[in-house]
Amino acid sequence: MTADTRVLPTSKDIKDMLTGLVGKPVAVSPGAPVTPTERSPVSVAVYVDPHLNVNALCVMDLALSAWTAGALAMLPPGGVQDAVEEDGELTSMLTEALHEVVNVVSALFNVPGAPHSKLHKLFAPGDDIDGDIAGMLAAFNRIDLAVEVPGYGKGSLSLVIP
Q: Taking residues 35-50, what's their average pLDDT?
A: 93
Is the pLDDT at 3 greater than 50? The verdict is: no
Q: How far is CA 127 from CA 62, 89, 122, in A?
A: 12, 10, 9
Using an 8 Å Cβ cutoff, are 115 and 49 in contact? Answer: yes
- pTM as predicted: 0.94
> What is the separation, in whole angstroms, between the first and last Cα of the chain?
12
Using an 8 Å Cβ cutoff, are 63 and 84 in contact? Answer: yes
Instruction: Kindly list the structural domains of the chain, giving each domain's residue range(s) and its CATH number in brackets, ordered by start.
Output: 3-160 (3.40.1550.10)
- Whose CA is closest to 129, among 36, 56, 51, 48? 36
- For residue 57, the 8-state DSSP code is E
Q: Taking residues 25-32, what's their average pLDDT?
A: 97
Residue 87 pLDDT level (bands cut at 50, 70, 90): confident
* CA atoms of 64 and 157, how far apart (whole Å): 7
